[in-house]
Structure 1
Amino acid sequence: MDLVWEESSGAVAPEYRYAKTYHLFADSKKIFLTRKIIKKGKLLVEETKEISASKYETWMKGLLSKGIQKFPFETLPEEQMTGISYNFVQFRFGSTKSKFYYRLEEINEPNWKPKKDIIKFIERMKP
């Protein structure tokens, strides 16, 4: 199992810059969550912690109930815009793989609600 979420503000004034990276992964015996959060250009959180099996099970049930496994595995959009960041969620569980990209302005559109729900769920994951 491997889950990665990366989001950043893109090219904005320093006082508005942020970046978030969450990585939930399992090795042969343990489950880990790595979080890195930068706000206003300053590192606030950088940690990797072991996750209990019960917490992992709760998170997996939540992600699967939100349909994370149903999205196709997208490739990076060919259209690149200067100063615009492409954020993404990538999920792999066994042979199931999904990945979607988004720009910050898209996420509040009504048809993006399922993806926004997944992103908000991931953002609330804490060790």
Structure 2
Amino acid sequence: MANPNPVETIDQTESTDENSNPIAQSTNLKHKKVNTKTNSNLSSSRPSKKRNRTVTIKQNLNLKQKNGSKQIQSLHPNLKNHKGNWKPMDLVWEESSGAVAPEYRYAKQFHLWTDSKTILLTRKIVKNGNLQLEETKAISPIQYEKWMNRFLEMGISQFPYEEIPEEKITGISYNFVEFQFGSTKSKFYYRLEEIHQPDWVQKKNIIKYIERMKP
């Protein structure tokens, strides 16, 4: 005959007490929350490779931007003084064909300069022995700033100030580019056959840029 009051095992009693006792349930829930928080804190305290990589990339970008702004600032100085007037600037380019037959002679002279309030460009071109162009016109500030920034980028102010060669060859033209901006002065001479040599690329680019200047 079955016992009407079966004896509960120790495991069953503990389980029943735990489920029926609200204090025990609350304690267990608190333990679970504490464990969850602890695990989350541990995972957040671990170094994240992705986060470190992102921070490093941002730092490198900021460094490049700072260096880039310094470089731009040094290449593109303020073209006006503290009174708002244009700083003194004078650029001259002269080139001629030398001793050739009159029908093949040419000469070019470009002169860009500033006074306190205006920028002026003079162009004089002789072609086939005849005067083709001679004019002086005002240049807009925007155009002037564009030209100056480009010249400085190409290094026009970095050449030493050369004197005309003492030994001159008869029939050879000694052409030149002369640049002055504030206290900075540079000047270089060249012969027509020199300008096409590989080591004259920088100077050739400057000459070609001057030749393309128009009001």
Unpaired runs of at least 5, structure 2: 1-88
Deviation of 1:14 after TM superposition, in Å, equals 1.4
Match of 1:52 in 2: 140
1:20 aligns with 2:108: yes
Aligned residues: percent identity?
A: 71
Q: Which protein has greater RCO, CA pairs closer than 8 Å, 6+ apart?
A: 1
Alpha-carbon distance in structure 2 between the residues aligned to 1:105 and 1:44: 24
Alpha-carbon distance in structure 1 between the residues aligned to 2:167 and 2:152: 30
**TM-score (normalizing by structure 1):** 0.99
Match of 1:66 in 2: 154
Q: Deviations over 1:3-25 (max 9, x none)?
A: 00000000001121000000000
Greater Cα radius of gyration, structure 1 or 2: 2
Match of 1:88 in 2: 176
The code of the aligned residue for 2:156 comes to: I
Match of 2:95 in 1: 7
Match of 2:122 in 1: 34
* Mapping of residues 98-109 of structure 1, within 5 Å: 98-109=186-197
1:115 aligns with 2:115: no
More strand by share: 1
Moved over 4 A (4+): none
Deviation of 1:79 after TM superposition, in Å, equals 1.2
Deviation of 1:67 after TM superposition, in Å, equals 0.4
Alpha-carbon distance in structure 1 between the residues aligned to 2:207 and 2:214: 14
The code of the aligned residue for 1:61 comes to: N
Between the two proteins, the alignment pairs up a number of residues equal to: 127
Alpha-carbon distance in structure 1 between the residues aligned to 2:146 and 2:116: 19
The SS at the match of 1:62 is helix
Alpha-carbon distance in structure 2 between the residues aligned to 1:79 and 1:66: 29
Query: Please, what is the CA RMSD of the aligned residues?
Result: 0.5
Alpha-carbon distance in structure 2 between the residues aligned to 1:38 and 1:62: 27
**TM-score (normalizing by structure 2):** 0.59
